């Protein structure tokens, strides 16, 4: 596990000769049956749990799963070579629902450069996120942290929704959405 939310199947064995020539590697992994597991790349639920599984991956692939019930903030960083150069890029919130159609997580923000967060209350914030009753809730402490104009959540993806919503709103305003029954 990488934190509470991600399960990564590590590449720990040298590939066999044939696989090495194909630039592929086999990974073995186990997904506990007590949870819902989403393939992080495809966003589809892996229905096989409670048994050891294998996957063939290219050298550049990694077998990663998100645990249901978790909310992950993802810093969008296309073509960034370092975190510092994209620290104020837009953020996408990914919600992975559990069997009760609930999830929770948090989003920590600071300036990404200084050590101000260690001694100034206004230098960082930790936003609590939860999904329940078909709604996403955000609770930010009122500590005076000022979000840079670029440091915004620009999209939300909710995986595991069982039917298309009739309406999606944000701040009382109807917002466009896409529903994909596969994810």
pLDDT single digits (tens) 16-47: 889 988 989 999 999 999 999 999 999 999 99
| Phi, psi dihedral angles at 102 (to 5 degrees) | -130, 160
Q: Give me the number of domains the chain comprises.
A: 2
Q: Nearest-5° angle of CA 13, CA 39, CA 151?
A: 110
Tokens of 158: 């909710």
Q: Is residue 103 part of a domain?
A: yes
Mean pLDDT on 167-172: 84
Which of 34, 67, 100 marks a domain boundary? 67
Residue 31 CA to residue 37 CA, distance in Å, equals: 7
Same domain, 147 and 113: yes
Task: Report the Cα 41 to chain-centroid distance in Å.
Answer: 10
Q: Is residue 75 part of a domain?
A: yes
pTM (2 decimals)?
A: 0.88
pLDDT score of 152: 83
The 10s digit of each residue's pLDDT in 33-83 is 999 999 999 999 999 999 999 999 998 899 999 999 999 999 888 888 887
Same domain, 30 and 90: no
Average pLDDT, the chain: 89
DSSP code of residue 116: G
Mean pLDDT on 98-107: 96
For residues 115 and 124, the answer to whether their CB atoms sit within 8 Å is no
Domain span including residue 79:
70-162
């Amino acid at each position: 596990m990488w934190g509470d939310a991600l399960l990564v199947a590590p590449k720990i064995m040298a590939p066999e000769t044939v696989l090495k020539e194909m630039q592929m590697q086999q990974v073995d992994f186990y997904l506990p049956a007590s949870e819902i597991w989403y393939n992080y790349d495809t966003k589809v639920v892996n229905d096989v749990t409670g048994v050891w599984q294998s996957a063939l991956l290219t050298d550049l692939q990694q077998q990663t799963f998100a645990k249901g019930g978790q909310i992950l903030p993802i810093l969008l960083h296309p073509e960034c070579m370092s975190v510092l150069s994209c620290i104020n890029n837009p953020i996408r919130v990914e919600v992975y629902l559990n069997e009760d159609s609930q999830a929770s997580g948090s989003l920590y923000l600071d300036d990404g450069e200084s050590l101000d967060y260690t001694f100034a209350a206004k230098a960082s914030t930790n936003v609590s996120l939860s999904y329940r009753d078909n709604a996403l809730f955000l609770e930010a402490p009122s500590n005076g942290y000022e979000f840079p104009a670029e440091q915004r959540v620009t999209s939300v993806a909710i995986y595991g929704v069982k039917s298309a919503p009739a309406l999606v709103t944000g701040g009382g305003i109807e917002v466009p959405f896409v529903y994909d029954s596969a994810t």
